[in-house]
Structure 1
């Protein structure tokens, strides 16, 4: 006898939840046991219902986002805590390196894009219920690329300057804050741009955040 995979849906759009509910309703071994419209609601329902899989969106409007909700669910369940195992399968439209990294580090079992075919979604849900990882092809490609490309190595001073850049400070203010000359700031910026492969201040900050070089 096949045991049903119990699913909790978390998406802040009621229309999306309704669509997923109708889609999953056609699978005899998948049962939707609850719906959440916010991260906080998902955490509470996951604790009360103990589903096998939480289908989690990342952007959830006001309140905690899908990454934080994933972290709390994983920490409380058998995947990271003492309760029954509740696996989180991210289902989102966002596929940036930062989103993928944050979700996986938070404890997500898999990461799927909403553009996937229904059959891929069903297979990913069944895999997640068994604790197996499933990644959409574009997501897997990004993960592999990050693994093959080591993070740029910046000096302590360059990291200091990056931190000041992220706060929107200009060269003069950075020089004053770090007790160095503006010429020295410009020299360090040139090296930072070269190491990060960018040409602008905003580009440097964006790459630094993506590469998790900033605190």
Structure 2
């Protein structure tokens, strides 16, 4: 198996001819420009706009929120993960930092501790993964994409939304915006959901779409 990139990753491309139909998020900028106020040990009630992304700093988390028109507040946790919210209903939560832009106000609700959703858990590093090189094939729906990766054997699988987005970031550093198509992840919108998450490799946007629609696939192990 030949290596596609010198930074350990190997990539298996299954191109889609369908652009991402939902979601408007862009990737985190290389340099932080936005300014947020920070409130320690505070989080936001409700679900995030997108699954949490490992930004590595509160400044980048603030910048990511600034790029999203739906984002009213962001929360950066002690694991380095950033979650965007379209709400300013804050609540106490240890190890979390709430971020607000100048001029914004928050509605503090009764103190409570919310169990983290799967989207708030820190992602696995993409550097430890192998991405396979191969021939282009037709776009697949999400269940077929998972079956296809599993059929390759040797622990091949469909990547999570965090792994897929982290790969996009790595490729963007090397090549700029990489491929103008969207790719399925294994991350669903919840138990028994008919929607799953995708990443558009043209601009790093993420969104949900019906699992029955065809998109590109990248297998990982």
Taking structure 2 as the reference length, what is the TM-score of the superposition? 0.26
Larger Rg: 1
Q: Which has the higher contact order (CA 8 A, sep 6+)?
A: 2
As a proportion of its length, which structure holds more helix?
Answer: 1
